[in-house]
Amino acid sequence: MIEPHGSTELSPRYVSDAARRAELAAEAKNLPSLLVNSAAAANAVMLGAGYFNPLTGFQDLADAISIAEKMHTADGLFWPVPVLNLTKDAAGLEPGMRVALRDPNVEGNPVLAVQTIEKIEQVDEATLTRIAEKVFGTLDPKHPGVATFMSLGNVLLSGPIDVLNYSYFEQEFPDTFRTATQIREDMGSRNWETVVAFQTRNPMHRAHEELCRMAKDTLNADGILIHMLLGKLKAGDIPAAVRDASIRKMAEVYFEPNTVLITGYGFDMLYAGPREAVLHAVFRQNAGCTHLIVGRDHAGVGSYYGPFDAQTIFHDEVPEGALKIKIFEADHTAYSKKLNRVVMMRDVPDHTPEDFVMLSGTKVREMLAAGQDLPPEFARPEVARILMKFYQEEAAAGR
């Protein structure tokens, strides 16, 4: 395993001492409170879980602008995406105050964290637009990440936080949600040193499965971390519980024991393409991984990014030595009818599109909703059955 980003040891913001946590919970009852948005709540969970090491809390405007423009904080720490607590109204709050941050994603809005407010800054529309354009590479309001970011508000509360819980993730995904610290401990108990991470917000089809094997074999890695996003997605994406079940079934049936660690993290998808790929690398380094698979259109959406922009950013914009984690650059993978196996397209220049088994997402959804089996070259039957049940239930409900 490798060192965390920006420090020699992880410093998660979750208050692990039960007595201290109880003290903070009691204090929070008498503090002014703020119902944060889901984006800020997700940032708090990631800070608490150690994925955003070495950050201690929400960043201020100077950091946000510096990160957007130059991918480093005002004091020089490499960081690709601002970690912010933006809100629409901070009435009654002042710098120096402590505030209880309430969770928008859990019934009753319990206290998620306590923040010490260092600054309260108004962010004008031009500055918000400037940050969004740099991070997302577009200002198209149809881009889900842009739409979310521009709706969060223009009051920025910065300062350190103490995290009291991990929102809904521990309860809803007890077998899957893991902190960076827990992943490091698990990999250590397995004596894994070289570990390749695979990021996913979707179910894993045959090509994804084989890509993980290719990376592991090429790097002579000890294991694979399949690390799935468990937070909010755009409309139409498959819910985390369905993805979790399908991925677990695939690993159980088709991977050798003690070669795959299946976990998830509590974050909302940004759909920020190249910038999000770099953020993925940062927090996989914090989880102890030595490599991250970055494939075609990593963390992208629609046609906003070039197919390999998420790879070129590591060459063109990430400074040498800024990260210890390495990138495994993958091409589009698909089943070759000629070779009877999954291949990377760049490795078979003699192939034509007709030589591959490829299905569009729309076609896959249509087939599964109609109860039609997917080709086994495209999806493992055990995985397809789980997805078919979901799509048939959606179709029956008229969704």
pLDDT in tens, 367-383: 888 888 888 888 889 99
Report d(CA 239, CA 225) in Å as an integer.
20
pLDDT tops 90 at residue 388: no
pLDDT tops 90 at residue 345: no
C-beta of residue 167 within 8 angstroms of C-beta of residue 112: yes
Question: What per-residue confidence (pLDDT) applies to 399?
Answer: 67
Q: 283: pLDDT confidence band, cut at 50, 70 and 90?
A: very high
Residue at 212: amino acid letter: C
* Burial group, residue 175, by CB count within 10 angstroms (0-12, 13-18, 19+): exposed
Residue at 116: amino acid letter: T
Q: Give per-residue pLDDT as tens, 223-260.
A: 999 999 999 887 777 888 898 999 999 999 899 989 99
Question: What per-residue confidence (pLDDT) applies to 374?
Answer: 87
Least confident of 68-77, 148-157, 266-275, 332-341: 332-341
Domains of the chain with bracketed CATH: 18-170 (3.10.400.10), 174-396 (3.40.50.620)
C-beta of residue 44 within 8 angstroms of C-beta of residue 112: yes
DSSP string, 112-124: EEEEE--EEEE--
Q: Which of 154, 190, 202, 385 is catalytic?
A: 202
**Cis status, amide bond into 4, omega within 30 of 0:** no
Question: What per-residue confidence (pLDDT) applies to 86?
Answer: 98
Report d(CA 271, CA 78) in Å as an integer.
20
* Burial group, residue 54, by CB count within 10 angstroms (0-12, 13-18, 19+): middle
Active site residue 201: yes
**How many residues appear in the chain?**
399
Question: What per-residue confidence (pLDDT) applies to 297?
Answer: 87
Q: 111: pLDDT confidence band, cut at 50, 70 and 90?
A: very high
Tokens 């009691």, residue? Answer: 26
Parallel, antiparallel or unpaired: strands 98-102 and 33-35: parallel
DSSP string, 46-98: HHHTTTTTT--EE--HHHHHHHHHHSB-TTS-B-SS----EES--TT--TT-E
Question: What per-residue confidence (pLDDT) applies to 205?
Answer: 87
Which has the closest alpha carbon to 84: 141, 12, 132, 143?
Answer: 132
Query: Strand order of the sheet with strand 356-357?
Result: 341-344, 333-336, 356-357
Span 14-24, mean pLDDT?
96
Quick count: other Cβ atoms within 10 Å of Cβ 365?
18
C-beta of residue 161 within 8 angstroms of C-beta of residue 57: yes
pLDDT tops 70 at residue 291: yes
Q: Which long-range contacts (CB under 8 A, 24 or more apart) does 94-98 make?
A: 94/120, 95/119, 95/120, 97/31, 97/32, 98/27, 98/31
pTM more than 0.75: yes
Span 13-42, mean pLDDT?
97
Which has the closest alpha carbon to 13: 53, 40, 41, 42?
Answer: 53
Q: 396: pLDDT confidence band, cut at 50, 70 and 90?
A: confident
Q: Which of 13, 178, 201, 243 is catalytic?
A: 201
